[in-house]
Amino acid sequence: MPRFAYTAFDARGAERTGEIDAGSLEAATAALKAQGLFPTEIDVATAAVAPEAKPSRSAAPVRSTPSAAGELPGRAPAAPAKRGLAREIRLPFVRPVSAKEQAGFTRQLGTLIKAGMPLLRGLEVLARQEKNAAFRAVIGALADDIRSGGTLSESMARHPRVFDRLYVNMIKAGEAGGVLDVVLDRLAKFQEKSLQLRAKVKAAMVYPLIVMTVAVLILAGLLVFVVPKFKQIFADLLKGAPLPALTEAVLAASEAVREHYLVTLGVGAALYVAYRMFRGTPGGARAIDGALIRMPIFGDLILKSLVARFTRTLGTLLSSGVPILQAITITRDTTGNLRVADALDVVHERVKEGDPVARPLESTQVFPSMVTSMIDVGEHTGQLPEMLNKVADIYDEEVDTAVAGLSSMIEPLLIVFLAGVVGTIVIALFLPIIRIVQLLT
């Protein structure tokens, strides 16, 4: 008989871990619940179980309604959470809530509710174990509002820096349909997929940034410390003879960096400020966002990540019961790219007039034809949410492939670039040495 390792909360909200013998995952879950435990994680502890019987790391699929805010037996009601400044003002020196922490909270809350724990008690348990002080205060405020008779979505709407419109509207749909546990599970999967996608795109950008940073540091070191010493040597040995043009350019660059570094830094800062100001205007943001998805090499990767985010967001909202027009509006506000947001504005207006989603989406000429074709099929078959999530899965895989391809292509290009920068300076310094040798002979 297989042995399962588990993590669970008891009736007092204390975390307990251990192992239990059972014939299956369902039997292990039932045995733990019979002992008064609320399992959050159950996994196979030995290899005795057949591969098809091995469960994923998840809790038992027991459903609880969102209104289950009652108390568990054997425990006095917790003291009300603190409200006021901790809720409304971002505390100084307190780490903000990260996307990873929010995804973990969503997954744990959904698991606790599925395991049969009331919503209020689940929030209290999560508040106690949260290490981030800012997030702990927010979760405590949520529990306080639930204790006072409010709804979870209304309470979350009071914390827009932590829970965005997408999150709040999905929770509201789950409460209205009595499937809060299901919505939390979908939301957790959505957040985890988004984190994975973001990590993949960042991974593709990290290596080029590191190499460019090293190249700038090496270039600065050569210009500031090495080139000036050669300049003095050339002046002493060439006796005023003209230097090669390449050497003159490198010496001039070295002098500009050493003698006018404040001007150099000022020009760099001015360019950055000008970029930020241009980016802050609607026209500038649209121009930059449009250029990003059209740029060589990285543009295809950025567009694929945007498509994956758009389709997964819209599919998750629709499958959770959010109305189509409201779902498009929320998706537009969370795209992160104004070019895509403008396209979704067009789709919103056309859908409001009675058109399907695929036709106006294709007319914007932003999304690939495969995306609009699959969405069209989903609309005709009445499976639009499922088709949107399928498109998101496809483009997640394409992002993986694009990241791998970029890594294999960019690495040699950057090495050649770095070698070219250093090699140019070395050649510029050795050309006069060759002339000096010729004069001495």
Q: Give CA separation, 355 vs 49, 131, 358, 409, 434, in Å.
A: 52, 48, 9, 43, 75
Once rounded to an integer, what is the mean pLDDT over residues 118-130? 88
- pLDDT top residue among 208 and 112: 112
The answer to which of 60-69, 224-233, 316-325 has the lowest mean pLDDT is 60-69
pLDDT-derived band at 279, boundaries 50, 70, 90? confident
- C-beta of residue 21 within 8 angstroms of C-beta of residue 1: yes
CA distance 387 to 393: 10
Q: Name the residue among 358, 326, 368, 404 with its Cα closest to residue 170.
A: 326
pLDDT of residue 61: 37
pLDDT of residue 55: 40
pLDDT-derived band at 233, boundaries 50, 70, 90? confident
Once rounded to an integer, what is the mean pLDDT over residues 123-147? 88
H or E segment and range at residue 147: helix 133-147
pLDDT-derived band at 240, boundaries 50, 70, 90? low
pLDDT-derived band at 273, boundaries 50, 70, 90? very high
Termini Cα distance of the chain: 91
- pLDDT top residue among 273 and 219: 273
- Superfamily assignment of 85-163 in CATH? Type II secretion system (T2SS), domain F (1.20.81.30)
For 12, the token pair is 């007092």
Domains of the chain, residue spans: 3-53, 85-163, 179-441
- Evaluate if residue 127 carries a pLDDT over 50: yes
- pLDDT top residue among 65 and 111: 111
Residues 6+ apart with CB under 8 A from 152: 66, 119, 142, 145, 146, 171, 175, 180
Same fold, 85-163 and 179-441: yes
pLDDT per residue over 370-422, tens digit each?
Answer: 888 999 899 888 888 889 989 988 988 888 787 777 777 777 887 888 888 88
pLDDT per residue over 299-353, tens digit each?
Answer: 888 888 888 888 888 888 888 788 888 888 888 887 778 888 888 989 999 988 8
Average pLDDT along the chain? 78
- pLDDT top residue among 95 and 313: 313
- Superfamily assignment of 179-441 in CATH? Type II secretion system (T2SS), domain F (1.20.81.30)
Please state the pTM of the whole predicted model: 0.58
Share of the chain above pLDDT 90, in %: 2
